């Protein structure tokens, strides 16, 4: 028994001697790369996708009902101001016109004869009044038929291009039914969609701003400046986005409706943003657990601090952050997932 206790004691002494040579080493600080936040961006470009739409499209319709006898235009055709684009069958109206003309001429002669007889006291004043009324009624009917005949010709109210022909020859149409649509081809209208956030920034002062965004049309080498035209006050029923229209004169190489377009807008110059943001690379951002939640790691005196930020927009250079950072801040751009708030780190080198 004593030998066993002695053996255990010797073994414990031997182990103690082994562990006395082991030293505890502290973990080396995590090596990270950093960038310094530069001055705020003076321009905030945002690209909006849109489409060329017809300028001042107007639906043309007859004022009276009838059967279409002639359709004189087709889609895509250029028309002059006052050019006849469609006609109604006016055979019945022409017959009514001849009858009304005869009635008017007869009533005029009868009134003239009645005036002579009245001057000789051969008819009473009431009889003369009746002849006068007959002439006025005949004249009104005659003029009405004249207008009816004029309404059988549908004319272009301005020079432009036929957008669509909605009826066919020999088809019966009612008053006010669209027969032909035309638009002005001396202008280019572009329609883009906007969020309610941006739309709220379009103040009367912003509308008067002389800033002109640049438009890049598909298949067209040259870019063009455009001016504000108008915007909708209600969202689109399907997309729920608001719509804004820009305009410019039609260039020599005509840009047709349906052409896709990219519009680059400097939000600051356009008066649609007054926020000074900071351009940062994507590498400094750490996503949070909620949608739209982002953080950066600030480095100061060897220690990192996790700070929430707001991303105003994403562009080809990274992101623009408008809150959470200031000029001169040093941000960690590597090993973000390994960092802990308040942890000491070592810098690989500033960029």
Q: What is the model's pLDDT at position 280?
A: 95
Asked if residue 7 has pLDDT above 70, the reply is: no
Q: Which residue has the higher pLDDT, 314 or 176?
A: 176
Calpha distance 242→233 (Å, rounded):
7
H helix runs in 58-172, sequence order? 91-119, 125-150
pTM for this one? Answer: 0.60
72: part of which helix (H) or strand (E)? none
Q: What is the model's pLDDT at position 264?
A: 92
Calpha distance 221→251 (Å, rounded):
12
Q: DSSP code of 98?
A: H
- The three-state DSSP-derived secondary structure of 124-156 is CHHHHHHHHHHHHHHHHHHHHHHHHHHCCEEEC
pLDDT tens, position by position, 34-55: 999 998 887 777 889 999 999 9
CATH numbers and ranges of domains, the chain: 30-43+275-347 (2.40.420.20), 46-56+184-266 (2.40.30.170), 89-151 (1.10.287.470)
Calpha distance 191→263 (Å, rounded):
10
pLDDT tens, position by position, 76-133: 999 999 999 999 999 999 999 999 999 999 999 999 999 999 998 899 999 999 999 9
């Amino acid at each position: 028994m004593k030998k066993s206790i002695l053996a255990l004691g010797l073994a414990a002494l031997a182990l103690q001697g082994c562990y006395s040579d082991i030293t505890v080493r502290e973990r080396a600080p995590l090596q990270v790369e950093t960038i310094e936040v530069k001055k705020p961006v003076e321009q905030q470009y945002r690209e909006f996708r849109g489409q060329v739409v017809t300028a001042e499209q107007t639906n043309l319709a007859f004022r009276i009902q009838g059967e279409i006898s002639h359709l004189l235009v087709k889609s895509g055709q250029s028309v002059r101001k006052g050019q006849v684009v469609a006609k109604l069958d006016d055979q019945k109206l022409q017959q009514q016109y001849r009858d009304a003309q005869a009635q008017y001429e007869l009533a005029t002669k009868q009134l003239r004869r009645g005036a002579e007889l009245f001057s000789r006291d051969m008819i009473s004043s009431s009889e003369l009044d009746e002849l006068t009324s007959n002439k006025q009624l005949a004249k009104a009917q005659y003029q009405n038929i004249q207008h009816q005949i004029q309404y059988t010709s549908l004319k272009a109210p301005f020079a432009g291009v036929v957008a669509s022909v909605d009826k066919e020859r020999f088809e019966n149409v009612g008053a006010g039914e669209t027969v032909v649509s035309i638009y002005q081809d001396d202008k280019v209208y572009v329609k883009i969609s906007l969020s309610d956030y941006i739309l709220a920034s379009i103040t009367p002062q912003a509308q008067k701003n002389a800033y002109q965004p640049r438009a890049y049309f598909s298949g067209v080498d040259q870019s063009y400046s455009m001016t504000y035209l108008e915007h909708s006050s209600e969202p689109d029923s399907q997309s729920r986005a608001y719509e804004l229209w820009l305009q410019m004169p039609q260039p020599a190489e005509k840009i047709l409706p349906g052409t896709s377009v990219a519009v680059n807008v400097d939000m600051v110059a356009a008066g649609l943003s007054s926020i000074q943001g900071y351009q940062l690379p994507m590498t400094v951002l750490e996503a949070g657990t909620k949608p739209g939640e982002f953080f950066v790691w600030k480095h100061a005196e060897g220690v990192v601090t996790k700070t929430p930020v707001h991303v105003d927009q994403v562009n080809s250079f990274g992101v623009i952050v408008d809150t959470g950072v200031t000029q001169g801040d040093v941000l960690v751009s590597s090993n973000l997932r390994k960092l802990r708030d308040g942890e000491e780190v070592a810098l690989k080198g500033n960029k």
